[in-house]
Amino acid sequence: MLHYPGGGPPDPPNDGTGLFTIGELARATGLTVRTIRYWSDEGVLTPVTRSAGGYRLYDAESFARLELIRTLRELGLGLGHVRAVLSGEQTVAEVADAHVAALDAQIRSLKVTRAVLSTVARRGSTAEETTLMNKLARLSAAERKRIMEEFVAELFHGLDTVDPAIEERMRSIAADLPEDPTPEQVDAWVELAELVRDPEFRAQMRQVVEFNAADADRSLASGRATWFPMRLVQLGAEARERGIAPESPEAEAIVREVLGGGDLTEVLERMESASNDRLARYRELLTRMKGMEPAAAHREEFAWVVAALRARAAG
Q: Which of 14-18, 124-128, 135-139, 187-191 has the highest average model confidence (pLDDT)?
A: 187-191
Q: Are 119 and 102 in contact (CB under 8 A)?
A: no
Task: Give exposure, 194-215, as e/b (b: 16+ Cβ within 10 Å).
Answer: ebbeeeebeebbbbbbbbbbee
Give the residue-averaged pLDDT of 243-263: 80
What is the rounded distance in angstroms from the CA atom of residue 95 to the CA atom of residue 34?
26
Give the residue-averaged pLDDT of 110-124: 75
pLDDT in tens, 182-234: 778 878 888 888 888 889 888 888 877 776 666 544 444 333 444 456 677 78
Residue 240: exposure state from Cβ atoms within 10 A (0-12, 13-18, ≥19): middle
pLDDT in tens, 139-185: 777 777 788 888 888 888 887 777 676 667 666 665 567 777 777 88
DSSP 58-113: B-HHHHHHHHHHHHHHHTT--HHHHHHHHHTSS-HHHHHHHHHHHHHHHHHHHHHH
pLDDT for 32 = 92
pLDDT for 1 = 42
pTM of the model: 0.49
pLDDT for 34 = 93
pLDDT for 256 = 79
Of residues 225, 192, 191, 222, the one with CA closest to residue 209? 225
Q: Are 302 and 271 in contact (CB under 8 A)?
A: yes
What is the rounded distance in angstroms from the CA atom of residue 271 to the CA atom of residue 310?
10
pLDDT for 35 = 92
